[in-house]
Amino acid sequence: MARIFVTGSSTGLGLMAGELLIDEGHRVVLHARNQARAKDLMAAAPGAEAVVVGDLASLRQTRALAAEVNRLGRCDAVIHNAGVGYREPRLETEDGLEHIFAINVLAPYVLTLLIERPDRLVYLSSGMHHGVAPDFADLLWRQRRWQGAGAYAESKFYDTVLAFAVARHWPAVRANALEPGWVPTRMGGPGAPGDMAKAHLTQAWLAVSEDALARSSGEYFYQQALRAPNPLARDEATQETLLRECARLSGVPFKP
C-alpha cells in the first residue's frame, strides 16, 4: 500500500480523494489550514495516518508544513489539491504576494521542492486553463486591472506548466496534471453541472494505480482519460520562466 499526502484536504475534493485512498487501505496524510479545521478533519477522517497544519498563503508556514511531512516519513505520492477560487478581490499575503498565485502556484512549487521526492506528483488544474497566455511581467496582478476569474485561470495554467516542467526535469518521478471538472464544491458553487461522484477519482487513481495510463508522466487528464492541455504549457521556455520566477519569489531554487 502507498503513502500519500493530500494538500487542502479538510473539505471538498481533497477530503473525498483522501477518504477514497483510506478506504482502499493506503496510508494517507491529510492537510488543514489551521488547528480548528484540523480538529474537524480528524473527526471526519479518523482513518488518516496524520493531519498536518499550515496556511499555504504563508511561505513560512508552507516551509514548516514541508518539514512536518518529511518528519512523518517519505511519501509515495503527493496530490497538490489545495486551491482558492476566483470570487475573491485582489488580496495580498503576509509575503506581499497575490493571494491566488501564492496558494495555487507558489505553494505547490515550494512543497514540490522541499518535500522528499516521491514517486508520483499530481497537480490539480482546471478547464479554465485552456486558452490562457502567461503574463510573466505581471504574475502578481500589480499592474493589470483585477479579474478574479483571470487570475484563477492563469494559476491553473501555471499548475499545468509546473507539472510538465517537473516531469521533464525529474524523469524518475511521474508528474501529471488533471482537471476535475466544474463540480458543485464550495469553490465551484451549487450550480456547477459536473458529477461530484467522479470529480475526485482521477487524482487518487494517478497517485496509486498500476494501470499503464496512470503510470504516465507529463500528461494531462480528465476523468481518468488523456485530454489535450493548453499547448503553451508544453513550451519549454514557458516552463523555465515559471521555474525561475517561482524560485525568485519563494527563495527556493529549483533542483533539476
Residue 173 lies in a domain: yes
Residue 205 lies in a domain: yes
Task: Answer whether 176's CB lies under 8 Å from 206's CB.
Answer: yes
Beta strands 3-6; 50-53: pairing state:
unpaired
CA distances from 10 to 34, 48, 72, 147, 193 (A): 10, 12, 19, 27, 23
Alpha-carbon Rg for the chain, nearest whole angstrom, is 17
Task: Answer whether 192's CB lies under 8 Å from 170's CB.
Answer: no
In sequence order, which residues have a C-beta less than 8 Å from that of residue 124 and are 6 or more positions away? 13, 79, 80, 81, 83, 156, 159, 177, 178, 179, 180, 203
Q: Distance of alpha carbon 94 from its chain centroid, rounded?
A: 21
Residue 255 lies in a domain: no
Catalytic residue among 39, 86, 109, 152: 152
Residue 55 lies in a domain: yes
Structural domains in the chain (count):
1
Which helix (H) or strand (E) covers residue 124, if one does? Answer: strand 120-124
255 has catalytic annotation:
no
The CB density around residue 163, as the number of other CB atoms within 10 Å, is 29
List the pLDDT tens digit at each of the 256 positions of the chain. Answer: 999 999 999 999 999 999 999 999 999 999 999 999 999 999 999 999 999 999 999 999 999 999 999 999 999 999 999 999 888 899 999 999 999 999 999 999 999 999 999 999 999 999 999 999 999 999 999 999 999 999 999 999 999 999 999 999 999 999 999 999 755 566 555 555 556 567 899 999 999 999 999 999 999 999 999 999 999 999 999 999 999 999 999 999 999 8
Phi (first) and psi of residue 213, to 5 degrees: -70, -40
158 has catalytic annotation:
no
Distance CA 30, CA 15 (A): 8
Distance CA 59, CA 64 (A): 9
Task: Answer whether 188's CB lies under 8 Å from 57's CB.
Answer: no
Would you state the cell numbers that stand for residue 111, as one nine-digit string? 512543497
Distance CA 12, CA 252 (A): 29
- State the CATH number of the domain containing residue 109: 3.40.50.720
Residue 60 lies in a domain: yes
Distance CA 25, CA 31 (A): 18
Task: Answer whether 222's CB lies under 8 Å from 202's CB.
Answer: yes
Phi (first) and psi of residue 3, to 5 degrees: -115, 125
Catalytic residue among 109, 123, 156, 220: 156
Task: Give the pTM.
Answer: 0.96
Supply the range of the domain harboring residue 68: 3-250
Residue 256 lies in a domain: no
Q: Which candidate, 83, 163, 116, 105, places its Cα nearest to that of 3? A: 116
Residue 175 lies in a domain: yes
